[in-house]
């Protein structure tokens, strides 16, 4: 049995959850296993997870799990893994998985590969490819334990959708009060945009933008193509932009289809978070900026002239597609 932890909030699943199920379904095709999606916390309409390749859904319908507390989530997943005799457990490599997957692996004495970027190679045992050294190299890691845990990099594997549905069953866990040691005092949710970790299109700004008052041109550019905003570390450190937008070695690691970097020099610590992007466009007025070496497309010039022109071109393209 392949278990897939599918994260949701208020019954809404992230795209990364569908990617993880699709990934599991592909492994199942090679091994003849079944795919079981695990859903924690209150949610409904779970049979639709079958659309992505799960034959079964096991639901722990307990409101205390809505806050995704790592210790309790790990206990629930281990309990289901034991009940289902799971030998592979898949997570999407997001913040929740970073807290939960190692606990699950330790409790089940399983080998863990965090940040897988492709399907495991089953011809040589069970070998998983992952990015290492801040995305500069790949490692091929063999998992030899009976139970294997993989957390899949978001946007590294596509979503395969069918019309199949899954059977849903409930699972009850005997939680202790100590399983919920963390008290959430307040939540500050970013609304209305695709979260950075899942965004396919990202527009990112650096110190070349000179100050927070100039972010309007990037917001317009992002708005014209439905992109999510990101920034370099000094921009977040200077409070020009919120910290959740900071990407790089000490910020978020992203893998969008398109990363447009505006006024960012391309320091190695910045590249560490973005150089797995499928297409990188760099706009910089310094021909020697290191980012040009990592770029698929480079535009040499002043961001304040180029960005509005790019936005206008995107808007025109969109209008012609609609008309």
Ligand X SMILES: Cc1cc2nc3c(=O)[nH]c(=O)nc-3n(C[C@H](O)[C@H](O)[C@H](O)COP(=O)(O)OP(=O)(O)OC[C@H]3O[C@@H](n4cnc5c(N)ncnc54)[C@H](O)[C@@H]3O)c2cc1C
Of the listed pieces 59-67, 75-83, 154-162, 248-256, which binds ligand X according to CB under 6 A?
248-256
Taking CB under 6 A as the rule, does residue 111 contact ligand X? no
CB of 272 to ligand X, least distance (A): 7
Answer yes or no whether residue 267 interacts with ligand X by CB under 6 A.
yes
Per-residue interface string for the shown chain with ligand X, residues 291-320, x marking contact by CB under 6 A: -----------xxx----------------
Q: Which three-class secondary structure state does DSSP give residue 273? A: helix
> Which stretch of DSSP H or E encloses residue 91?
strand 88-92
**Three-state SS for 229?**
strand
Cβ proximity to ligand X: between 168 and 231 the closer is 231
* DSSP label of 227: P
Residue nearest to ligand X (CB): 248
User: If residue 230 lies in a helix (H) or strand (E), which one and from where to where?
Assistant: strand 228-231
Q: What is the DSSP string of 160-196?
A: ---S---EEEE------GGG------------SS--G
Report the nearest approach of ligand X to the CB of residue 134 (Å): 10
250 lies in the site for ligand X, by CB under 6 A: yes
> SS3 of 21, please?
helix
* Least distance CB 261 / ligand X (angstroms): 8
Which positions from 221 to 240 touch ligand X by CB under 6 A, shown as an x/- string?
Answer: -----------xxxx-----
The yes or no reply on residue 249 touching ligand X (CB under 6 A) is: yes
Do 259 and 252 touch, CB atoms closer than 8 A? no
Per the CB < 8 A criterion, the answer to whether 93 and 153 are in contact is yes
Q: How many residues bind ligand X (CB under 6 A)?
A: 26
Residue 41's Cβ-side half-sphere holds a number of Cα atoms within 13 Å equal to: 19
Contact residues for ligand X, defined by CB under 6 A: 206-208, 232-235, 248-251, 263-265, 267, 269-270, 273, 283-286, 289, 302-304
């Amino acid at each position: 049995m392949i278990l897939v932890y599918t994260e949701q909030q208020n019954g809404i699943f992230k795209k990364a959850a569908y990617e993880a199920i699709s990934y599991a379904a592909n492994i199942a095709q090679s091994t003849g296993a079944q795919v079981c999606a695990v859903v924690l916390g209150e949610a409904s309409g779970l049979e639709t997870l079958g659309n992505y390749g799960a034959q079964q859904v096991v639901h722990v319908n307990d409101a205390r799990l809505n806050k995704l507390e790592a210790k309790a989530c790990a206990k629930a997943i281990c309990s289901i893994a034991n009940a289902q005799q799971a030998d592979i457990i898949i997570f999407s490599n997001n913040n929740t998985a970073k807290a939960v997957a190692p606990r699950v692996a330790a409790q089940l004495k399983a080998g863990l590969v965090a940040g897988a970027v492709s399907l495991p190679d089953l011809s040589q045992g069970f070998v998983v490819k992952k990015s290492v050294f801040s995305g500069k190299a790949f490692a091929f890691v063999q998992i030899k334990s009976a139970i294997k845990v993989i957390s899949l990099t978001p946007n590294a594997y596509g979503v395969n959708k069918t019309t199949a549905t899954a059977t849903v069953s409930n699972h009850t866990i005997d939680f202790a009060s100590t399983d919920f040691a963390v008290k959430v005092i307040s939540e500050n949710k970013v609304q209305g945009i695709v979260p950075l970790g899942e965004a396919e299109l990202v527009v990112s700004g650096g110190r070349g933008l000179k100050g927070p008052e100039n972010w309007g041109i990037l917001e317009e550019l992002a708005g014209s193509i439905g992109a999510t905003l990101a920034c370099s570390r000094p921009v977040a450190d200077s409070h020009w932009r919120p910290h959740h937008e900071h990407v790089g070695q000490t910020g978020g690691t992203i893998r969008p289809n398109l990363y447009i970097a505006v006024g960012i020099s391309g320091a190695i610590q910045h590249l560490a978070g973005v150089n797995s992007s499928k297409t990188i466009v760099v706009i910089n007025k310094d021909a020697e900026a290191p980012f040009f070496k990592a770029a698929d497309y480079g535009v040499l010039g002043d961001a304040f002239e180029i960005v509005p022109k790019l936005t206008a071109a995107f808007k025109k393209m969109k209008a012609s597609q609609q008309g």
